Each structure stands twice: as C-alpha cells, then as structure tokens.
Structure 1
Amino acid sequence: MKYSELVSKLEKKFILTDIQIHQDNEINTIQIGNGTQPHTLYIEQAVAGPLKLVSCADHACVRCPCISQTSTNLSNQAVVALFNDANEVLAAEQQQEVLFSGILQYSLTHDHQAVIDFAATQLNNTLMIIDDNYRVLAYSHTFPFPDPLWQQNIDQGYSRLDFIQGIKKMLAQTKPSAQASYRFPCPVSPYQRLVARLYFQHELVGYVVMFNDQQDFTVAQQQLLPRTGQVLSDLLGRAAAFKDYQVSVRAQLLSDLLEGINVNAIKVNAQIVGYTVPQSMCLVVLKAADQLARLCQKMRERFPEALVVVYQERVVALLPGSLPTLKKITWSDLQQQLQCQVIVSNCYHDFFATKAQYIITRHTEKLSLQLQDQAQLLFCRDYYFAIMLDRIKQRDVLTAFIDPGVQQLQQYDLANQTELIMTLAQYIRCGGNQTITAERLFIHRNTLLNRLHKIEDLTGLDLKDSQLWFQLECSLQMQRLLASLNR
C-alpha cells in the first residue's frame, strides 16, 4: 500500500496536517518509534507536539480529534489508537491483495465461467458481466439470488430497460475509470447494485455488476470489483466474447437476430438504439474470399437504412422496404459493383424470421455448389423446391416420384448425346414460349420444334398441356438433385 493511500484513509478519522509526500513509498509494516527501514511506516512520538507518520522522505503530522490533552497517558492512548487504525487499514489492503492474487492466479488456468464463479466466492456476492450493448455475457452460478430482475436479465439475454437506465445515469454522473466502482439505482428492485466499467484494448466494452440483498457493500468489495472485472474482461476479450466492441450497435442487433437471441431481448436492444422494426424486408448475403469490411462499408453506403454485419465469414444485410421498392433494386448491377456472390432472400414481413431466412440463403448457396450452378447472383426463390427435396433423408424415395417420361428422356440423352432434357427444362421455364426458348438455347426455332416433337414421340406427353408442366418441373428438379448427389 502506498504511503499516500494510507494517509488518505487515515484522514477519515484523524486530523492530518503538514503532509509532505516526496517518494510515496510502498508500506508493508507499521512500527512505533524512529527508524529508517524501507517500506516501514514509523509513528514518531515527540516530547511535545503532534505525532508524526514518517516513511523516509514522506511525513505528516497527526492529531487525534478525541484527544486534546498532552499528558503522557493520553499521548500513549493516541499512539495506540493511531497504530491500531493504521494496522487495520494496512491489513485490509493486504487481505484484498491476497484475494485478488488468488483470482488472478486462478484465471491463468481456467476459463471465464470458472473464474467468475471463483471471484463471486471470493467477493462473497453475485456477479454479472454485460457488454456495452447491455447484453448478458456471463454470470456467476455460485449463489442463488432472489432478485427477479436478475433472473429476467439472464432469461432474456439482455438487461432490462430500467436496469440500463440506471447504468446510463451512473455513466453520466461519473468520470471514466477502470479503477472505480459505483452504486446505481434501479427503482423496480429493492436490491443494491455495484457496477464498474470494463475495458479491453483501451476500449469501453462493458460492465461488471455486483448484486447484494442483505448488507451494504464492504470497502473490499468496492475496491476489488473493478480489478476483478478487468481480469474477466481480459479473459472474455481474448475469447472474442466482446465480438461487437468494434461493430455498431445496429450491426449487433442483426447479429443477435441471426443468432436467434430471445425475442424480448432483441426488442429491448432495438428500443435502446432507436431502431424501428420494418414491416417488410429482405436479406442479402454476400460471399467473398476477403475484404469483408470493404463490402460492409459499400452496403452501408448504398443502403443507409440497412442493418449490415459480418457473420460467419459473410456480409449479411437486412434491407427494409416494401416488395415494390425491393423489386426496383437492380441486383445484377449491385453484383457487378461488389464483385462477389450475392444471394437474395424473398421479401418477408416477420422481423424475427430473419434467422430462418438466413438459413435458407445458406442452403441456397450450398445447393448452387452442389448443382454446379456458377451464377454469382442467386435468388432463394429459385431454389425453394430443391431445398425441400434436399431435406428428404430417404433419397432413394425421390426416384419413385420422377415422371417416367423424364426418365426415358434421360436414358435417350445418355445413349445418343442429345440435349432433350435441357430443352424440356428451358421450354417449361419459358412458359411454353417457343421463340424465347429457342433464343435461350441459342438454336433455330425449327431445331427447337424438332426437339419438342422428338420429346413427345418418346414420352407420349402433350407439351401443350400446361397442367403437366409443374409435374415435369418437379421431376426435372428431383432428377437434377439426385444427379448432383451421385457425382
């Protein structure tokens, strides 16, 4: 303990004057009398005059407010009082160092959850870690705690709004410090709270909160909480728990949607950041080998109202807008500008269905690779049927559902090196329009007519019957999927 710290604590009970601190020595022991031993505080008693606290070049004069006489008996009483109080302060500080050293040592070989439980035991209280978006990252399991607000924070994964407002009030009234802890009010709960800021790589990343249901917080708890918090902050930071400390709060909102965080928790966070949940939206996923930060920035510039985040090594953007508005976006131009694969979900209306939409985009990406689709612009709607088929576990059952005419065409193509299957598929996609089909296949219209007649001769199908098209399209999709699985 530094000389200045000891003097500061003794000033709360004794009158100290003529304080002169030159070296601010570390104090380990206290003695009565004169001496020059290092790290020792001497209580010097002169024949006349006040007591002195001396440590090398540091000294201060002391008067005991309850003792004004100068008799030897009373003077001795003052020395004993000062000696006892100084030793009590020093012992408390040394005990704190023992506790903190234990926590620090424990953190070298255990993960953050084990450390927070151990720290809660050492501090004899319940602890919670929340990030700077008020998301619950960790909490101690050591003591059961009766506060319903504590449990609500845990259940929803986010701090309640009134809890957050208490912390914000504390932040507004105190100076930034990694060394201090503060009480903060929470009107909906009778339990006391102590909070300290957490820093990681010199950035404010969250808070460590201590709850107390019986007695007031001790001095040791108030002083150890911020130091313990920094140990936990370092563990969580190195484990990337503060994954969003360099990302905007809006980005974290989308990240939590994709993670499937509790709905109520997301509503709280949306309220905190002032985000209005859109009535209609779509999800866009960008896949690139690198430069994800650049893609993020470009998407934010192009769509200022969008939520954009890097998630699972992809850039994910939630674009608000009605169906007509979203249809006006020229997706091919966007893909050309970004120079990466772009996957676009259908327009949807449930904000909390975003995770499901993301899963569909990833499934679309997977199937495009499986089906050897080289397109850099993918629309999930084009893969819905294939996605449903892909979820069928008994793949051999699919063969039974393929139209026998399609199977006949497949065998004919293999035997004769023809492209009747491809012709049929394109004809159906073009809605039976022969001119467009021929253009898409880069063949003469007469060549197309010859192929269509051949298909009808081999299968007995009437291709003018549009009611057959859906059945044939399903068969073609199943055949294509099964072929990709057999490669």
Structure 2
Amino acid sequence: MTIKLRQIYNSLINYSPTIFSKNSEDQILFETELLTNNIGTIEKNILYVGKASLFNKKLGEISEGNFLIEKDEEIKDDFIGKDLNIIVIPPVQDLNLLFHEVKNLFVKDFIILDSSAILLDALIKNRGVKYIVNVGSEILDNPVILIDTGYKILAHSDMKMITEPFWIRNINMGYCSYEFISEVKKIRAVQKSPNSNEPFQVICSGSPIRKLVSKVLIDSNVVGYVIALECNEKFNDNTYRIVKLLSNVVSEELKKNDVYRNLNGIMYENLIVDLIEGNVKDNKTLDERMKSAQCNFGHNLQLLILDISNYNSTNNPANFLKQSLDNILPNHKSLFYKNNILILLDFKDDSSLSDKAQESLKNFIKENNIILWVSDIFENILEIGHFYRQGIDTLKLIYDLDLEGNVFFYEDLKFYHLLNKTGLDKDLLNFCNDGLFKIIQYDEDNNTEYYKTLKTYIEEDRNAVQSANKLFIHRNTMNYRLDKIRKIGNLNLDNGEEIFKITMSIKILEYLLSTENLKLPILYKY
C-alpha cells in the first residue's frame, strides 16, 4: 500500500490545502496515523494527522517526517530548515472524520494493488483475453465487454450479468450492428474521448446504465475498447483505476497476437482479418461489417502478399515501409498480418494498376529485397481467405524451388501448386516424358549439358539465338546440341504437344528436386 504525498494533497483539494515540502512531493507513504501526545518515534514513510497546537508542542522532538495538519493555531516557524513535508488545511469540524477519509485512500490503494496482482496473474497464466476479461469482471463486480476497433466482440463476461438488450443482441451476433455504431458515434463523450487509455464515462439515451470505457492501445494505436457496465456495483474512483489497469493487461495479452500487435486501429483492417480467417461467411454479415468499417469492396479485386523476411530496416526511418507503399498505392488497403504485408487492390472501374504504379512497385520491391506474390483477379471479397492461402502455399514453393526474381504471379505458379496439392510426390515421375530421362542419363554418362540446353530453349520460347546468348555458346553449337537432343530423346521439338509434355516434365523434376523426393545428382548443377 503506497501513496505519494502529492496524491494525498490532490484528494484534499476541497479543503483548500497548502503544502510545504522540504524534499519532494513524490514522497512515498505506506500508512497514516493520528498525531497524539504519546506518539513514539516519527517514521519517515508514515503520514501523521493532527492539530497545529499539538504539532507545535512536539516540533522540538521532530527532525523529519510527513504531516497533515489542521490549522487550529498558527504553525511555528521552527519547522523551517527541518526535513519535513507538511500539508496544512483550515479548521475542520471533525479531525477523526478527516483521518478516516485519508485512511480510506490507503485502503483503496490496497484494493488496486490486490487487483493488479490478480490481473497480472491472469496474464501470466496465458489463458487468453476471455479469461482476463472474466477476471476483471469479478474484480469490478460488473459485466465487462471487449471489442476491437471494427466493433467485433472479442470477449465478454458471463451473459447473466449483462442486462442491456442491445448489448445482448451485439454479443449474440458477435459484432455491433451498424445502427448501434452510428448512435455510439453521436455520443459527445465518445467524440471527446481522450487520446489515451484514461477511462471515460458514457451515458446512452436508450439506457440508464452507465458505461466506463477505456481504449486498448498498442504502440499508441487504438486496437480495441474495454467497456464496463454499471449493472451491479456503483462506479467509484477505484473503478476508474481498475478499468485502466484491465485495459493495460488486455493490451499486453493482445500484443501476443501478431494481428493486433500490427494493426493500426483502422476498422477495415479488422474486417479483412475476419474475412481471411473465415469469421465473415455471408453477405448479410459482410454488409453490416462494411457499413461499420465505412468501407466498400468492388468486384475487381487482387491480393498482394509481401514477404518482408529479408527486408533490412536498419537504415530506414520508422514506418518507412508502410508510408512508401501508401505513396505508391494510395487508394488501396494494406495491413500487416502474420509476418507479411497484405495489400488489397480494388480497381473499381480500372482493369489494373497504372504502368507508373507497377514500375514504382517493382523497383521498390527489388531495392528492399522483398518477395511479392500477386493473386489472380477475383470478384467476391468473401473469397479473400482462399486467395490468401494460395499465396502462403506458393510463397513456400518459391523458396523451395529457389526461383529467381522478386515478383511472382500466381498464374505462373499454378502448376507447381497443383503438384503440391496432389500429395503424390513419389508417383509424379510416372507422368514425365521418357525422352527427357534419356537426355538426363546421357548427360550423366558423358558430362554434357543437353538437359540444361533443352530447358533454356523452352524457357526462351524455342528461340535458338536467344538461347545461345543465354548459354554463352555459338549459335552453331546451339543447333548442334538441339539435333543431338532430338536424336537422344527421340523428341519432336516442333510439335506443340511434345513441347507441352517436356515442359510439364521439367517442372515436375524441378518440384521433386525442391522437395528432396528425387535424387538425380546431375540435375543439382542446373
């Protein structure tokens, strides 16, 4: 139980106090006692409450201490020069009543200290935000509700404690209706709420029950709200302090979640996360949530996933990455989710990004060593979770296959993704072209590079000149190698169907090599 001298002074403001502080108004106090004739040794961390007349008599025996003095007579100047902190108030009707009022401050502080210990224990137990909210509700003896900035219900105390019909409806839906949010935003207390987690009181016209609200902050960003309802116990000074404490503990718990730790308090971010995680499944719910988030989605959408695991932020200012992307793509929505940056492109009437934006994005991606995955175009925002999972799967394949470059379109990776989804790695060789294996075996036996030559020839769209340049060989050498490839593998390189089979086989071999389900040493050098 510790209180600072300044807190005592502030609590007595109605008594018109005066303070004389020799050392510090931040002096820590553990307890309070009455100043009596038979008082023993004056303790440094105890506040003594008494009359000036008795204080004057004892002043010769006192060299240090903290005192709350009722001025029933003038205080002698002898205290000057001593190590004393004195709060002086005018005469009062009942000094004992004043003493008990101050004593209660220490009792309240004990309640807060005890509550802190309980809430911190709840945090340490790692049982989640719902458990913490229930513990907070028990301490307050009032229902508590936790919502995020998208007005989604994250946690709530026992429904039996909640008596407000609209909160019962919100909890049953899992989110607050647009009508509810619209009314809340009209409340002056909400409009004038502090830019901190200091609790503020809210009174709704549709309900007599008072609410105490504290913003949940992570790195100065509002990510949610703790709401206490005055259903059982009347609010008091302790309630404010406990609600603020609860908000701090909830913040620490949410920091464990990558999603909330990296959200910027923008309502659409919460909606996109819920869409990805499948928490919004139908158009009715989507319409409500879009109204709440004050955003809308068109029917020409594309998802970008930026893998920033190799991004070096050492020489860049704080928030450089987000600000740069916002400058390149100012009209699109972005958020940080599970170690990646997600950007939702909503083209509305346009078919694609402008050439300038594409060029700026490609340059930025390359300069900052970022890997960019680009989805196919999709029409329904409810499908974003499907495209997100495609992206995460194929990003892993990009690394497994050790593909060169920084920008990858899903369209170009679909075949690899298909192979990955079959789960038939050991059987995939059965689908490869036999002629290709003959070429691989010939390379192994004769230390030649016909497989690499064929692969390059197909990559260069069967252009012999470009293939020769890429391989740093003469075009005549290239033509000689192509003739040998035709003979060794019995391949018709002018037949489109044959080229398709060879291309498919090469991709299967690359995939199997990347997953280590194929042991062909000759291929590793390619």
Could you list the per-position Cα deviations for residues 233-265 of structure 1 after superposition, in whole angstroms to 9, with x for gaps in the alignment? 222333416525656555555555555553577
- 1:355-381 C-alpha deviation (Å, 9 max, x unpaired): 333333333332222222232232222
Unpaired stretches in structure 1, ≥5 consecutive residues: 9-18, 43-53, 63-78
Q: Is the 8 A contact 1:197 1:204 kept in 2?
A: no
335, 342, 350: which is aligned to 1:309?
A: 335
Q: Which residues of 2 match residues 66-465 of structure 1 at below 5 A?
A: 97=109, 99-111=111-123, 113-141=130-158, 143=160, 145=162, 149-150=166-167, 153-154=170-171, 158-168=175-185, 169=187, 170-172=189-191, 180-185=199-204, 187=206, 192=209, 194-198=211-215, 200=217, 203=220, 205=222, 206-211=224-229, 218-219=233-234, 221-239=235-253, 240=255, 243-244=261-262, 246=264, 248-249=266-267, 254=272, 257-262=275-280, 270-284=290-304, 285-287=306-308, 288-291=310-313, 293-321=319-347, 324-326=351-353, 328=355, 331=358, 334-338=361-365, 339=367, 340-345=369-374, 346-432=376-462, 434=464, 437-438=467-468, 441=471, 443-465=473-495
Taking the aligned partners of 1:468 and 1:330, their CA distance within structure 2 comes to: 39
Q: CA deviation at 1:174?
A: 6.0
Q: Aligned pair in 2 of structure 1 residues 377, 208: CA closer, same or farther (>3 Å)?
A: closer
* SS of structure 2 residue aligned to 1:326: coil
What is the CA distance between 1:158 and its match in structure 2?
4.2
Could you tell me which residue of structure 2 aligns to residue 70 of structure 1? none
Matches within 5 A, 1:45-60: 55=70, 57-59=88-90
Unpaired runs of 5+ residues, structure 2, are 1-6, 40-45, 52-68, 72-87, 124-128, 520-526
Query: Structure 1 462/155 Cα, relative in aligned 2: closer, same or farther at 3 Å?
Result: farther
Deviation string for 1:26-52 (max 9, x for gaps)? Answer: 999999xx999966599xxxxxxxxxx
Distance in 2 between the 1:370 and 1:132 partners?
Answer: 38
Contact 2:152 2:175 in 1 (8 A): yes
Is the partner of 2:352 in helix, strand or coil? helix
Contact 1:386 1:481 in 2 (8 A): yes
22, 36, 52: which is aligned to 2:18?
22
| Structure 2 letter corresponding to 1:235 | V
Compute the displacement of 1:89 (Å): 8.0
Shift of 1:301: 0.8
Work out whether residues 465 and 475 of structure 2, in 8 Å CA contact, stay in contact via their aligned partners in 1.
yes
Q: Which amino acid aligns with 1:210?
A: A
TM-superposition CA deviations, 1:179-200 (whole Å, max 9, x none): 554233275xx68451322364
Aligned counterpart, 1:477? 507
Q: TM-score, normalised by structure 1?
A: 0.72
> Equivalent pairs: percent with the same residue?
20
Deviates more, 1:131-140 or 1:171-180: 171-180
Q: SS of the residue aligned with 2:118?
A: helix
Question: 3-state SS of the aligned residue for 2:418?
Answer: helix
Q: Using the TM superposition, give the Cα deviation of residue 387 of structure 1 relative to its aligned residue in structure 2, in angstroms.
A: 1.5
CA distance in 1, matches of 2:515, 2:469: 30
CA contact (8 A) 1:106 1:115 kept: no
Distance 2:198 2:50 in 1: 25
